[in-house]
Structure 1
Amino acid sequence: MTRPADAGRGATAFDGVPAALVDGRGRIVWWSRSAAELLGWPEAEITGTPARDLLAPPGTRAPAPAPAPYHHPRTRRLRHRSGELVEADVRVERGPEGGSAFLVAVPPDSPAPLDEDSALARALLDQEHMGAAFLDTGLRTVRTNGTFEALWPAGTDWLEELRDASGGASARYLVRRALAGGAPVVGAEYRIGPPDSERMVSLTCLRITDARGRPSGVVVVATELTEQYRAHRRLSLAYEGAVGIGGALDVVHCARDLASLLVPALGDYASVDLRKDVLEGWEPLAGYQGPQADQLRRVAVRAADGEWPGAMVQVGEFLPEIPDRPEFQGVAVGEEVVVSDAATTRRLLGDDPHLLAKLMPDGMRSSLGCPVYRRGRILGYVLVYRTTDPEPFDAGDTQLLKDLCARTALAIDHALRFTREHHTAVVLQRSLLPPSAGESAAAETDGTYLPASGTASVGGDWFDTFPMSSLRLALVVGDVIGHGLRATATMARLRTAVQTLADLDLAPDELLTHLDDLVIRIGAEAEEPDTVGASCLFLVYDPVSRVCQMASAGHPAPAIVRPGHDAEFADLVPGPPLGVGDNPFEVCSVTLPPGSVLALYTDGLVGRGLAEGPERLRRSLGTLCADGLGLKEIGTRIIEHQPPARESDDDITLLLARTRAVPDEDTAQWRYTADPAAVHDARDDIRAQLGAWGLEEHVFATELIVSELVTNAIRYAGEPVTLRLIRERVLVCEVSDPSNTQPRLRRAKSTDEGGRGLFLVAQIADRWGSRYGVHGKTIWTEQALGAGLGQRRRPTGTARKMP
């Protein structure tokens, strides 16, 4: 059979490869020279024979070919003219005529169609640190090197298993895109294994074309990025963690946060040292002070294995004095110190074995130091050591440490400012509060104040106890809205106002009304009126009548423990907080037997809006009082075992009082008509009663006081006139009348016949005053028992009124 001319022209391009042209009936019409060399059949003998005669019968096996550096897939077994079998990859392509086809056979030892440049392909496949794979147009693997196969287990469909860093598209999509579009894909990152795996690989895909420019496959180059990814992840976490440095507004916490970020992000060991004055809350001097001993104290350490070397400087110890080298002078302006090896460290430290053991871990390869520097002041110093990583610190590591130290310096600076303000506010707050424990005829008291321990500054909580007329005792607890010096200043104003108003012997509801007006005025004067407000609880306990009157302005009711009973809360309805205005306050009265315990507190102890807090306080208070403990121990245990709901954000105030009572035999009372002769009767009654009490030395002064007060009551007020004596640590004399006229102290002239009564009373008595009741007023005096006139306190000389 003769080869057609046009067929020969179409097949000329295949003379260099084993190929044949088959017509529509499956017979060979053209045979290339390379095909004759491969199978031994000359073109004259093979032309016109069916192409299927070249295939070996089914079931026959060909001898194993000689090993080749890269194996091509074996898909067909062909018959050689000598009878031997030859394995080859037979491919079919459409011929120039309808129904015809080209058969192309590639033997195992022939280069693959992808190997247009075999030298480049071999160079790529011979790489040890770079995986390479050739894929055909069907994305079937043609050739790979050992590095590529070692990246994932055998039999893994890596095209499908590999997912990009976000867990989305697979590598098959990437390779197909490179094959279809022709544009190379460079450096695409994919994760090996599950989504939480840290093994990462970078894929670069290039399309390969044949001599005619048609796509013939894809070459994939894979580089493992696991170590780079881990390092990048550590640095990213370090920068992200830097945001949390200084959240506690405490310099030691800042140092610990920094140390925890440096290991393992930068090295195997890290230490943070702060200046002594910084730890004491003071701002250090500007400039470099030299490597002085007792200047830097180690406050935080971190080790990759969890064990800080015992020979090195420990937490709490001062750094030893080091030589003043020129390399350290840059620290004064915030420059870092990089030591690339242990030999350099020995040279800088002068080969002092004791100093080297203190400042250098065993096996140190390199170290990096950086000052904690802010506004021209060195606040501390940071050291990072590498013992396992042979690579020295580079510019990126240095910049990371400088950034973290700058962030820490800013946090420490803020913490110092907060500490100074907090310390000032606490000192001011404590200076304004009364002594924690107190004793009086009315009660034994003990108060506790704990400032806020979190990021909030000190608040406006306060408590106070002070005596009132006739042995009565006032108890007050308040809480100003807000924190800081402004809240403390507002608290001071309110505490002073409470004492002033209480000195007028106002009822609890009247006192809170006046205090409410004061807070409204403070709010009107403030730059931020909406931030001014307070709650307040005011109590007055009378040890003679044993009645406790109380009123609340937005403050929780006190807890009461009567002897032999469980704790309970007073049936008190709190009014609105101070500063609201135009709202009345309700007075609650309770009778307390001697030995009853009152507990006044702020919401920092029990939490705002939490029902379990007050209930826990009630149970604890009842149990502790039943055990017969002292007030100091009761308060300590309540605070320890009563976990505050918001301890870090609010102050804690607790005021405890154990009531006392004046025995009935220590009081005496008489009533007189508006008859001038009643003055004589009053003197007789006083003389007899003081004699019965064994207070004869106070008869003369008391007779004079009673004479003047009873005379004025009969002359200006009318009847009935009531006289009462109370004996306790002082001698109290009270004269009550139905008049609401305010008594006034004045200095009489030498020619005046009257006007000296109150002046004489003020000179004789230690304290005196007046208060108003529901009906009329009461003028009272106090005399210290057992004290001579020269030991008396200076009289107030001021009358006290009560609406």
Structure 2
Amino acid sequence: MCASQSGRLSGDDVFDLTRTAVVMADRAGLARGWTKGAERLLGYQVSEAVGKPLAELFAGVASGASRDSRWESRLAAAEGWSGLEAVRHKDGHRLDLEFRVLPLMVAEKHSIRLVLAAEMTQTPWSGASRSFLEGILGMSPIGVAMVNADLQYVWLNDALEEMGGTSREQRLGKRLGEIQPGLDVEGIESEMRKVLSTGTPSVGYEYLGNPESDPLREHAYSTSFFRLEDEAGQVLGICYMVLDVTESYRARQRMALLNRAAERIGNSLDVWQTAQELADAAVPDLADFVTVDLLDALLSGEEPSPDPVDAADLVTMRRAGQQSVREGCPEAVVAVGDAAAYPPSAPVVLSLVEGDSALFQTLDLADGAWAAEDPVRAAHLRELGFHSLMVVPLRARGAFLGAAAFARWQHTGPFQPDDLVLAEEFVTRAAISIDNARRYTREHNTALTLQHSLLPHDLPEQCAVEAAYRYLPADPLSGVGGDWFDVIPLSGARVALVVGDVVGHGVHAAATMGRLRAAVQALADLDLSPEEVLAHLDDMVNRVGHDTNADDGVIGATCLYAVYDPVGCRCTLARAGHPAPLLISPAGRGRLLELPTGPPLGLGGMPFESVELPLPEGSLLALYTNGLLLGKALDLDGGIARLRTALADARAPLEELCDTVIGGLPGGRPVDDVALLLARTRALAPAQLATWEVPADPSAVGQARRSAAGRLAEWSLEELAFSTELIVSELVTNAIRHASGPVSLRMIRARALICEVSDSSSTSPHLRHARTTDEGGRGLFLIARYAERWGTRYTSQGKIIWAEQPLRSVGGAVPVADTDALLDALDALDDTGDPTRATGTGTEGH
């Protein structure tokens, strides 16, 4: 080492051991190993020193025969020797040395001694050096040991003796497996053999085990192995240093476990599954048995009470999840889904309600707080060998949700406070996920209720088409989208077929869809043409868009509206940015209908156009949303081809065709909501129709009544003769008196009996309340009394006033006095030809 200019040794110089002689000697006092440090200190080369007596190599300044015997006694001392002595360098100058002799193999006949020597004049830190060496070999927390080539112990320090729990005498001459069966003996010895064979040190080798010093608790160790050789290169054995890293290992394990738990807990929006994920994530790394109990109200999606929970309420908790390292979970006293009783007013229950976790490390104490609180469960766990228990409350957003219990019975040892902290982290993550799942369950139920109320439950009865449908949401969890469809019976035995698609998904899109569907139904009741219906819808969407909060998203929709008339077998269609329908002829040929492409609803400013085309009886019309065509590959042409192929058999049952279409979706799940409406057209037979041209003469009213009565007799509907004659009389009378141009009467026998009177006027009658002194104004009241529905629809030539009666009368019998008076009035009308004087009905105002 080098001294500084001030003559004082620097910190680096103090711990420079290059001038320390390290010599290995046998019990006879002969040198068996000689290091470079010994060469530099004493001047003897390895070849000169090995084999010579130490008494000669460390020749004293004062010569004498007793020097040989002194070294013999020093080397023979069982506890070793240390001291100071003046010796001669090879060249003859004096050296004041400090010696330390360490026994390495006290159990063997030819045991080896380690001799350390350092020059005192150059090492004023000799006291510190001695303290340093004694600390490493005696007081250091690092365990140090040496084993021979057969892996038998030849030396160990005090730290390793205390760490392993076996004395030095028990270890010397034995292998690790003979004294520490609870460690990974096979792995450790395999690592030592590898170091012996290769000479490459092994640093930081980690293993787990239960040492004799603490057999009930698993420890983690980090060990480094180095091969020992003499100067000739002969392998002497292994020196290894071991450090107990249990706490740091467990800290790393807890962090890794917490990361894994974050990945495993909360992967679904289901309360039951989240509770089971918590139990699964904690077993077996944290506990051997875990239970998760939740409040009954929570499992049904109800809102937890914000008020403080009474401990007595906890008897209604229910087991939501559990897991065990034992197959079949024999520790459980209740099954998942059963009530998990928690005794009211107990200390642990109260602590859970208040948010405090409980840790029990000695379950076998009969008078323990938890055992006294729940003796049945405590006795059951004691019988199964459990020795430690943690109970942690589940709380989220200030509300108490339930409790999770963690138990151990294996050799990992009792729970520690750090384990309780980890369990609380687990439970906190799970509680947030469970509360989110609960909130989702509530919102999910609300959304499903909304959707169920907005979409058609069953298609209405009508005679124009045979219809079937399918609705498939893109999101199977929420089940709510903005697509809709409708079949709306219209006057004259006609039917409206509607399919629409609102932008977006979720409750907001569903609510918008509900508003549009209600608007379409209201507009359909007005008997507006398809292009007029879309124009009114466009205005409505624009108003809704202006009234909607910007955070709710963009309002927009597409729609296809079609009206089919089974009398003339014609269909009128208009679309607002919606895919064109597919028409399959009765012969099975399919084609997309060429319709004018109107703008999507909500853009405004552009007109819509409709197209009227013939649809022979048996034609199949497929209306759908774009989710049916796009699929996973977003292939529009491929979607049309798939749909045409699925509907090739136009005469197959519609329900079967719907299943074929939905089953052919690529990937099994659409990228967007799917609404499909199939309609197979029907035609009314000529025998179900009757049409008469009525002259513009009041006397023609009676003939119209008689013609209607005659046709009712042909249809075997004589029970409707009276009400039908009354309705025909009123409608024809109003048309003759207030309208212009030709008047015609048409009767249709379909699902209902329909009477229609058409004229060229654009004015419409309205229902009004007549005064007792008025001679007229009561005709429409009579029509409303006997007709199930009535109304007006406009055509390009004028208007049609219609009234429907069920084929089975629902109006009840007419009072006898009224019947007689009406019959007399009708007879008078036949005689006078003046409808206003005869019936007192006449004008209703056009």
Please give the TM-score of this superposition, normalised by the length of structure 2.
0.65
1:525 and 2:547 equivalent?
yes
Tell me: CA distance 1:700–1:36, structure 2 relative to 1, closer, same or farther (3 Å): closer
Q: Secondary structure at the match of 2:812?
A: helix
Alignment partner, residue 269 of structure 1 = 289
Partners of 1:359 and 1:287 in 2: how far apart?
Answer: 31
CA-to-aligned-CA distance 1:217-259 (integer Å, 9 cap, x gap): xx99664758954662443342463376445332123213322
Q: 1:506-536: CA deviations, max 9, x gaps?
A: 1222211110110110110111174222333
Answering whether residue 357 of structure 2 is matched by residue 336 of structure 1, we say yes
1:549-628, aligned counterparts within 5 Å?
549-558=572-581, 565=588, 575-587=598-610, 589=612, 591-592=614-615, 594=617, 600-602=623-625, 610-611=634-635, 628=653
User: Aligned-pair distance for 1:126?
Assistant: 7.8
Which of 781, 787, 800 is equivalent to 1:778?
A: 800
Q: Distance in 1 between matches of 2:371 and 2:648?
A: 65
CA separation in 2, counterparts of 1:429 and 1:233?
A: 47
Q: Give the AA of the match of 1:313.
A: V
Question: What amino acid sits opposite 1:37 in the alignment?
Answer: E
Residues 604-626 of structure 1: CA deviation (Å, up to 9, x unaligned): 66666733667666655667x86
Match of 1:154 in 2: 194
Q: Distance in 2 between matches of 1:521 and 1:229?
A: 65
Q: Secondary structure at the match of 2:279?
A: helix
* Structure 1 position 282, deviation (Å): 1.3
More off after superposition, 420-429 vs 482-491: 482-491
Distance 1:375 1:473, change over 3 A: same
Matching residue's letter, 1:242: A
Give 1:365 shift: 2.7
1:571 offset after TM fit, Å? Answer: 5.1
* Other-structure match for 2:392: 370
CA displacement 1:121-149 (0-9 Å, x = unmatched): 47646899946699xxxxxxxx9999999
Which range moved further: 569-578 or 256-265? 569-578
**374 and 786 in structure 1: CA distance in 2 versus 1, 3 angstrom threshold:** closer
Which of 745, 755, 779 is matched with 1:723 structurally? 745
One-letter amino acid of the counterpart of residue 458, structure 2: S
Which of 45, 49, 56 is 1:37 aligned to?
56
Contact 2:730 2:779 in 1 (8 A): yes
Q: 1:595 Cα shift?
A: 5.6
The farther-off stretch of 326-335 and 670-679 is: 670-679
Please give the per-residue CA displacement for 1:11-70, whole angstroms capped at 9, x wherever unaligned: xx9999667999xxx9xxxxxx99992399999xxxxxxxxxxxxxxxxxxxxxx9999x
Match of 1:185 in 2: none
Provide, for residues 173-221 of structure 1, a one-character-per-residue CA deviation record: whole Å limited to 9, x for no partner. Answer: xxxxxxxxxxxxxxxx7999xxxxxx9958899xxxxxxxxxxxxx996
Q: Distance in 1 between matches of 2:477 and 2:646?
A: 29
1:309–1:504 CA distance, 2 compared to 1 (3 A): same
Matching residue's letter, 2:436: H
1:754/1:436 CA distance change after superposition, 3 Å: closer
> 1:386 aligns to what?
408
User: For residues 581-618 of structure 1, what are the alpha-carbon distances to aligned partners after superposition, in whole Å with 9 as ceiling and x for unaligned?
Assistant: 22344535565555665555555666667336676666
Q: Which residue of 2 aligns with 1:242?
A: 262
CA contact (8 A) 1:549 1:588 kept: yes
Counterparts of 1:67 and 1:658 in 2: how far apart (Å)?
113
**Residue among 533, 539, 559 paired with 2:562:** 539
TM-superposition CA deviations, 1:298-341 (whole Å, max 9, x none): 22223346653376433223224558643432111111122213
Residue 435 of structure 2 is matched in structure 1 by 413
- Contact 1:288–1:331 under 8 Å retained in 2: no
Alpha-carbon spacing, 1:749–1:320, altered in 2? closer, same or farther (3 Å): closer
Residues 174-189 of structure 1: matches in 2 within 5 Å?
A: none
* Counterpart residue identity of residue 541, structure 1: Y
**Number of residue pairs matched by the alignment:** 671
Match of 1:663 in 2: 685
Alignment of 1:17-36 (within 5 A): none
Once the two structures are TM-superposed, the CA of residue 693 in structure 1 deviates from its matched residue by: 2.1
Paired position in structure 1 for 2:330: 309
Report the AA paired with residue 422 of structure 2.
Answer: L
Assess, with a 3 A threshold, how the Cα gap between structure 1 residues 240 and 502 changes in structure 2: closer, same or farther: same
Cα distance in 1 between the residues matched to 2:342 and 2:354: 20
Does the 8 Å CA contact 2:389/2:407 hold for their aligned counterparts?
Answer: yes
CA contact (8 A) 1:562 1:596 kept: yes
Say if 1:291 and 1:125 are closer, same or farther in 2 by CA, change over 3 A.
farther
8 Å CA contact retained: 1:251, 1:415? yes
Distance 1:627 1:357 in 2: 68
The alpha-carbon distance between structure 1 residues 524 and 723, as it changes in their structure 2 partners (threshold 3 A), is same
Task: Report Cα offsets for 1:386-413 as digits up to 9, x if no partner.
Answer: 2223421111111122222223222222
2:273 is matched by which residue type in structure 1?
H
SS of residue matched to 1:741: coil
Aligned partner of residue 342 in structure 1, secondary structure:
coil
Counterpart of 1:431 in 2: which secondary structure? helix
Structure 1 residues 357, 532: closer, same or farther in 2, change over 3 A?
farther
1:389-468 superposed matches below 5 A: 389-445=411-467, 456=478, 458-468=480-490
Deviation at 1:731? 1.5
**Would you say the 8 A contact 2:205–2:222 is kept in 1?**
yes
Partner of 1:694: 716
* Residues 532-580 of structure 1 deviation map (CA, whole Å, 9 limit, x = unaligned): 2233333323232333433333444455666663777655565433212
Partner Cα distance (1:546, 1:722) in 2: 20
> CA offset at residue 666 of structure 1?
0.5
Give the letter aligned to residue 425 of structure 1: A
- Change over 3 Å in CA distance of 1:257–1:67 after alignment to 2: farther
Q: Distance between the aligned counterparts of 2:537 and 2:487, measured in 1?
A: 17
SS of 1:583 mapped into structure 2:
coil
Q: Which residue of 2 aligns with 1:738?
A: 760
Residues 323, 689 of structure 1: alpha-carbon distance in 2 compared, 3 angstrom cutoff: closer
Q: CA RMSD in A?
A: 5.4
Aligned position for 2:347: 326
Counterpart for residue 521 of structure 2: 499
Distance in 2 between residues matched to 1:421 and 1:617, nearest whole Å = 35
Structure 1 residues 352 and 279, CA, compared in 2 at 3 Å: closer, same or farther?
A: closer
Change in CA separation of 1:17 and 1:443 when aligned onto 2, cut-off 3 Å = closer
Consecutive unaligned residues in structure 1, runs of 5 or more: 1-12, 27-32, 44-65, 70-91, 97-105, 135-142, 163-170, 172-188, 193-198, 206-218
1:111 is aligned to 115
Amino acid at match of 1:576: P
Structure 1 residue 280, shift from structure 2 partner:
0.9
Letter in 2 for 1:726: I
* 2:216 alignment counterpart: none
- 1:277 deviates by 1.3
Letter of the structure 2 residue corresponding to residue 241 of structure 1? A
Q: Determine if contact 1:368/1:383 at 8 Å carries over to the other structure.
A: yes
**Secondary structure of 1:506's match?**
coil
Query: Is the contact between residue 346 and residue 356 of structure 1 (CA under 8 Å) also seen in structure 2?
Result: no
Contact 1:426 1:451 survives alignment (8 Å): no
Separation in structure 2 between the aligned mates of residue 772 and residue 621 of structure 1, nearest angstrom: 36
Structure 1 Cα separation of the partners of residues 844 and 329 of structure 2: 72
SS in 2 for 1:736: strand
Contact 1:298 1:315 (C-alpha < 8 Å) held by counterparts: yes
Residues 1:766 and 1:606: Cα distance change in structure 2 (over 3 Å): same
